Amino acid sequence: MKTLYDAIRTVPNYPKDGIMFRDITTLLSDARAFMTSVDALVQHHVSDEFDLVAGIEARGFIVGGALAHRLACGFIPVRKKGKLPAATFAQDYDLEYGTDTLEIHSDALTPGQKVLLVDDLIATGGTAEAAIKLIERAGGEVIACSFVIDLPDLGGRAKLEAMGKPVLTLVSYEGD
Ligand code: AMP
């Protein structure tokens, strides 16, 4: 049987030497693999009571949008700096070289709303941690975090769990 691993393409040395890029575009274009992924996330979260799914730009919008629809939740985008039109909160986070900034609309949430954070992949966890800080600054409560892919050696999952956030991932690549 074809697995989710078979549907994910690995592109060596992208975007730079030494990185094994785990490309989900091949999973998204495979109807069965896309459905299987979303179904697995839905099954895990169906009895959780979220108000909102937050997706991280850009691949987190695709998985998060599908999940929000299936869980009958609203969706909020966590975007790269300068993309959102209204007033925002901003959060810097570290990249391997330098920093980047994520933003959400400052009125994206009503205080106390329960949020499921979604992205395609967790590596060091810096991106997800920045998204959690933004959601919590806006008054939301991040109840859980879900990703299609885990790179456990980079420690992101452990970092979010140390923050008290339950983490679900569907596939895991050790040694990256
Ligand atoms: P991090 O902040 O280190 O957890 O990185 C997670 C973000 O970077 C996610 O939005 C991923 O889409 C992207 N990313 C990091 N490493 C990879 C990789 N090896 N393959 C694909 N995407 C990656």
The CATH number covering residue 78 comes to 3.40.50.2020
Which pLDDT value is given to residue 75?
Answer: 98
Is there a domain that residue 12 lies in? no
Is there a domain that residue 68 lies in? yes
Is there a domain that residue 53 lies in? yes
Is there a domain that residue 145 lies in? yes
Phi, psi of 38 (to 5 degrees): -65, -40
Pocket test for ligand 1, best of 28, 121, 154 (most atoms within 8 A of CB): 121
Q: Which residues pair with 32 in a beta bridge?
A: none
Residue ranges of the chain whose pLDDT lies below 70: none
- Name the residue with the closest Cα to ligand 1, atom 5: 123
Is there a domain that residue 28 lies in? no
pTM greater than the 0.85 cutoff: yes
Write out pLDDT tens, residues 74-106: 999 999 999 999 999 999 999 877 899 999 999
The whole domain housing 134 covers 48-172
Q: How far apart are CA 78 and CA 58, in angstroms?
A: 9
Atom number in ligand 1 closest to CA 56: 10
Q: How far apart are CA 34 and CA 30, in angstroms?
A: 6
Is there a domain that residue 100 lies in? yes
The one catalytic residue in 59, 103, 129, 157 is: 59
Is there a domain that residue 22 lies in? no
Are 154 and 95 contacting, i.e. CB atoms less than 8 angstroms apart?
A: no
Which pLDDT value is given to residue 98?
Answer: 84
Which pLDDT value is given to residue 1?
Answer: 72
Which pLDDT value is given to residue 95?
Answer: 84
157 a catalytic residue: no
Which pLDDT value is given to residue 175?
Answer: 87
Number of domains composing the chain: 1
Is there a domain that residue 99 lies in? yes
Atom number in ligand 1 closest to CA 19: 19
